[in-house]
Amino acid sequence: MSDDFVHKTVLLYEAVDSLNVQPDGVYVDGTFGRGGHSRLILEKLGQHGRLIALDKDPAALQEAGKIKDSRFQIVHSGFAKLQEVLNGLGVAQVNGVLLDLGVSSPQLDEAARGFSFRFDGPLDMRMDVTRGQTASEWLTTADEKEIGEVIKNYGEERFAKQVARAIVTAREGGIIATTRQLAEIVAKAVRTREPNQDPATRTFQALRIYLNQELEELSLVLPQCVSVLAPGGRLVVISFHSLEDRIVKRFTREVSNPDTLPSRLPIRAKELPVPVLRLVGKVIRASDAEVAENPRSRSAVMRVAEKAGEL
């Protein structure tokens, strides 16, 4: 099966169009994945344009190595270190940043990565397999309360306490080493199933988000994006989970509203503080046609904001 068949980039044209790519601009793809967005950005860049991509996943770096283009550079890093990466490359400002959050289709579809309960494989779940604890290792050492809190807070699982108790009981008989083992444990602990959803869905999601510090890294990178954007530059974020989208929505709204001043303060409109960002358009979701072709795009939510000032 080819990578092109396995991986369909969500909101490909909508995201790149929203970046408003300038031919000689400098852009960041903070989540290269399998490169769908990056390749389209490169098509729109001129001879003197530049694209810097980041990714934690060594498999993504291998895919990026197929792009033979002097305008393109890939860095093995999570986007939480965006400003550090750009400083190291001598880049002070960029004209756009794209963040396509969550896990990619190839990561889900490769049993050895341990992201999905649909395949039996080692219980890993790390986006960067070169560092950090695997899900199996964490479940071996974490106490019941901590496991329950992670599943509740990151998976919004109603039966988090029951799942945590079942995991702790099961590990007394040996390490929970595979995705199938964990899925079977969760299935027995979740008393009611949501329509069209496996009982293990929320637990697997919670462990992945927690182990990879996805929400924390998103909260860290958003202020950095604003800092590195040139006036008129665009920030485009695609979220796949309500917890992610909530962080993006709250942040962009806060920095797009001027500071609140006392209502009777004698000040002219032109003297009011200028918002750092301007929200661009409405929330964008995948079309019915895209969802039909790629069901994983169903939950995608894209928000766009622009740095105050002119290009």
**Residue 36 among known ligand-binding residues:** yes
Residues near 30 by beta carbon (within 8 Å), at least 6 away in sequence: 53, 54, 79, 82, 97, 98, 99, 100, 221
Question: Is 114 annotated to bind ligand?
Answer: no
Has 109 been labeled as part of a binding site?
no
55 is in an annotated binding site: yes
Distance CA 29, CA 243 (A): 21
107: annotated binding-site residue? yes
* 48 annotated as belonging to a binding site for a ligand: no
d(CA 60, CA 31): 9
Q: What's the first-to-final CA gap in the chain, in angstroms?
A: 43
Pair of tokens at residue 33: 């994945």
Distance CA(39)–CA(78), nearest Å, equals 20
- The backbone torsions φ and ψ at residue 54, rounded to the nearest 5 degrees and listed phi first, read -125, 150
Give the residue numbers of the binding site for S-adenosyl-L-methionine: 35-37, 55, 79, 100, 107
